Structure 1
Amino acid sequence: MPLYALDNSIWFPPVTEALEDGLLAMGGDLSKERIIAAYKKGIFPWYDGEIPLWWSPDPRFVLYPDELKVSKSMKALLRKEAFHFTINSAFENVIHQCRMVKRKDHDGSWINDDVERAYSSLNKEGIALSAESWNNDQLVGGLYGIKLGKIFFGESMFSLQSNASKFAFIKLVQHLQKEGVKLIDCQVYTEHLESLGARMISRQTFISTVEKNLV
């Protein structure tokens, strides 16, 4: 299948045209309109150098909030409030820490200046949100993503202290569930999120769920 090149128009090819690894298109920009249009269609951006790449993998890695798994050790940390949890208290710091964290099998980060600017702008508009774990006044873990309707599209997370990102994730999932969120997009497989209950579903099921819960 071809790899589509995007221009200035807010348009994406059908996700069924994606390559086997989920890569669908390249180019375009990170305008608010394009980012929202992408998520609504089950597409998300990753960068490769200076060029935005747009992905829609099949299957899709997701978490249904009512399937969240909390280990005994994490339940103990939650009970004693091992960290102070906040939402949207330090979005720009969170996304920057996600950019700086070193990850296995990855040289550098897909998060660049354009990504930081775009998602920080979306945060100011109430579209992107962050969750934070604090040890006293120090930010030690967190994550960020996009919330549209009853779907949360997770983007990245970081941890500077053991269990800090897991603590923030669990607390955020519990908060989102109370708000009626039906599905959390984890994009691609990680062992870390699988341990918390995330699993694979078909892209068709994912997009159908998104479409039903955008309002």
Structure 2
Amino acid sequence: MLTLYTYPFSRSLRTVWTAEEIGLDYRCVHVDIRRGEGRTLRHLVRHPGGKVPVLEEKDGSFLFESGAICRYLVDVYGQGTLKPVSAMNQGLVDQWVCFALGELEQPLSLQAKHTRVLPEDKRVPEILGVALWEFQAAVETLLHRFDPTSQQWLVGDQFSLADIMISHTLMLADKRGYVLPAELLHYLSRCLSRPAYVRAVQRERDARAEAEAEAEADDRR
């Protein structure tokens, strides 16, 4: 069975959501990044940077980076789910996946690093204004090619990996206080109301609860 190593509402949620959309049989294992579990030798074998998500294949090989994991799951196990038929539409899906990772998400990562992730002496508060400007520019680019009021999904009439990557990034922005246009909020609501997303959130919560219960049991021994 495949295993996804995750932390709730991080980028790992994209991989669990993808797994749920394609009906994958898998294990979801919580890695408590905030308590240092990512830096344990056991996890560093999975990801040399100590991060999540990580996919462990049935043969014991590992794959990290959320975009790579999602694309792998769709290509190998999706059986056409989340994957357009035409080459052009697949190219458009890849376009939006790359855009999500390289343009829309990058300012959010910058903001997170310089407010809470990096050591205080490495943070540059002045860069936060640049991050906001870059995010707003990325949103404008998105809306130039996507009209959420007339298009249900990003590519054609089929929900795809593009929607997972873009909507998850918009969700992160919304949670961090970025102001999103009303039409994108409606699109985000459509995406997050999908049963597979609801199941994915619960899978990560269940994995966390299971890990915490095991840790408490170990402490009592």
More helix per residue: 2
Of Structure 1 and Structure 2, which has the larger fraction of its residues in strand?
A: 1
TM value normalised by structure 1 = 0.27
